[in-house]
Amino acid sequence: MRALRSVGELDAARAALRDQRRLDRPCITICSGTGCHALEGGKVYEAFEEELRKRRLGDRIGLKPTGCRGFCERGPIVVVRPQGILYQRVEAGHVPDIISRTVLKGEIIEDLLYVDPTTGEKAVAMGDMAFYRGQERVIMGDNDELNPGDIWDYIAIGGYGALGKVLTKMTPSQVIEEIKLSGLRGRGGGGFPTGRKWESCRLAKGEPKYVICNADEGDPGAYSNRSLLEGNPHKVLEGMAIGAYAVGSSRGYVYVRTEYPLATKNVQIAIKQAGELGLLGRNILGFGFDFSVKVVSGGGAFVCGESTALMASIEGRRGEPRPKYVHSVTRGLWDKPTSLNNVETWANVPLIIERGAEWYSQIGTIGSKGTKVFSLVGKINNTGLVEVPMGTTFQQMIYNIGGGIRDGKKLKAVQIGGPSGGCIPSHLMGMPIDYDALTQVGSMMGSGGMVVMDEDTCMVDIARYFVNFLKDESCGKCTPCREGLYQMAEILEDISAGRGTGPQLELLQQLADVMRDASLCALGQTAANPVLTTVRHFKDEYESHIHDRKCPARVCRGLIKYSVDPGKCTGCGRCLKVCPEDAIKGEKKKPHEIDPARCIKCGACRDECKFDAVLKV
Amino acid sequence: MNETDISKIDSMIDRYNADKELLVSLFKEIQAKFGYLPQDALSRVSERLGISMGQVYGVATFYKAFDLRPRGRHRIGVCLGTACHVRRAEEVLQRVERELGIRDGESTKDMQYSLRTVNCLGACALGPIVMIDGEYHGRMTSKKVAELLKKHRSGKVGT
In a domain, A572, yes or no: yes
Residue B50 and residue B78 in one domain: no
Give the integer Cα–Cα distance in Å for B35 and B106: 14
Q: Is residue A474 domain-shared with residue A394, that is, in the same domain?
A: no
Q: Which residues of B touch A259 (CB under 8 A)?
A: 118, 120-122
The percent of residues above 90 in pLDDT, for chain A, comes to 82
Q: Look at chain A and count its residues.
A: 617
Closest CB to B119: pick one of A37, A220, A608.
A220
- My answer on whether A288 and A323 are in the same domain is yes
Among the candidates A435, A454, A473, a domain finishes at: A454
The C-alpha atoms of residue B137 and residue B124 are separated, in whole angstroms, by 12
Q: What is the mean pLDDT of chain A?
A: 93
Same domain, A95 and A228: no
Inter-chain touch B138–A465, beta carbons under 8 Å: no
Rounded CA-CA distance A600/B60 in Å is 36
Mean pLDDT by 10 residues, chain A (617 residues): 90 87 82 89 94 92 93 92 94 96 94 90 93 95 93 94 97 98 92 96 96 94 93 98 98 94 95 97 96 93 92 92 89 96 97 97 95 94 94 96 93 92 94 93 87 95 94 93 96 95 93 94 91 93 95 92 93 89 90 91 88 91
Whether residue B28 sits in one domain with residue B86: no
Residues B113 and B42 both lie in one domain: no
Please tell me the predicted confidence (pLDDT) of residue B20: 66
Whether B86 sits inside 8 A of A457 (CB atoms) is: yes
Q: What is the CATH number of the domain that holds B94?
A: 3.40.30.10
CA R_g for chain B: 18
| CB-based contact, A383 to chain B, within 8 Å | yes
Instruction: Identify whether residues A188 and A244 lie together within a single domain.
Output: yes
- B98 and A CB contact within 8 Å: yes
B79 shares its domain with B148:
yes
Both A313 and A416 in one domain: the answer is no
Is B113 in the A-facing interface, judged by CB distances under 8 Å?
Answer: no
Angle at A35 between CA A31 and CA A36, to 5 degrees: 40
Total structural domains within chain B? 2
The structure's pTM equals 0.94
Residue B142's domain comprises 74-153
Q: What residue numbers bound the domain in which A592 lies? A: 561-616
Q: The domain spanning residue A255 has which CATH number?
A: 3.40.50.11540
What is the structure's pLDDT at A34? 86
Angle, CA of A15, A19 and A22, to the nearest 5°: 125
Chain B residues inside the 8 Å CB shell of A383? 83, 124-125
If asked whether residues A424 and A470 sit together in one domain, one would say no
Peptide bond into A208 cis (omega under 30): yes
Distance of CA B73 to the CA centre of its chain: 10
pLDDT score for A518: 94
> Least CB-CB distance to A317: which of B59, B87, B142?
B59
User: Is A527 a domain residue?
Assistant: yes
Residue A38, chain B, CB below 8 Å: the answer is: yes
What is the amino acid identity at position B127? G
* Chain B: residue whose CA lies nearest to A37: B136
Partners of B120 on chain A (C-beta within 8 Å) are 218-223, 259
Q: Tell if the CB–CB gap between B122 and A260 is shorter than 8 Å.
A: yes
Of A384, A449, A602, the CB nearest to B142: A602
A301 to chain B: nearest residue by CA? B63
Say whether both A212 and A270 belong to one domain: yes
Domains contained in chain A, number:
5
3-state secondary structure A42-86: HHHHHHHHHHHHHCCCCCCCEEEEECCCCCHHHCCCEEEECCCEE
Residue A293, domain member (yes or no): yes
Residue B110, domain member (yes or no): yes
Which among B22, B88, B126 has CB closest to A72? B126
Per-residue pLDDT of chain B (159 residues; tens, 9 = 90+): 788 888 888 888 888 776 667 788 889 889 988 989 999 999 999 998 888 999 999 999 999 889 999 999 999 999 999 999 988 999 999 999 999 999 999 999 999 999 999 988 888 888 899 999 989 999 999 889 999 999 999 887 654
Q: Nearest Cα to A380, choosing from A358, A396, A391, A369?
A: A396
B37 and B79, same domain (yes or no): no
Residue A425: asked if its preceding bond is cis (omega within 30°), the reply is no
Q: Where is the domain boundary, B13, B42, B62?
A: B62
Is there a contact between B124 and A377 if contact means CB atoms under 8 Å apart? yes
DSSP strand E in A379-532: where? 384-389, 411-416, 422-425, 449-454
User: Cβ contact (<8 Å) for A316 and B98?
Assistant: no
Give yes or no: residues B79 and B52 share one domain: no
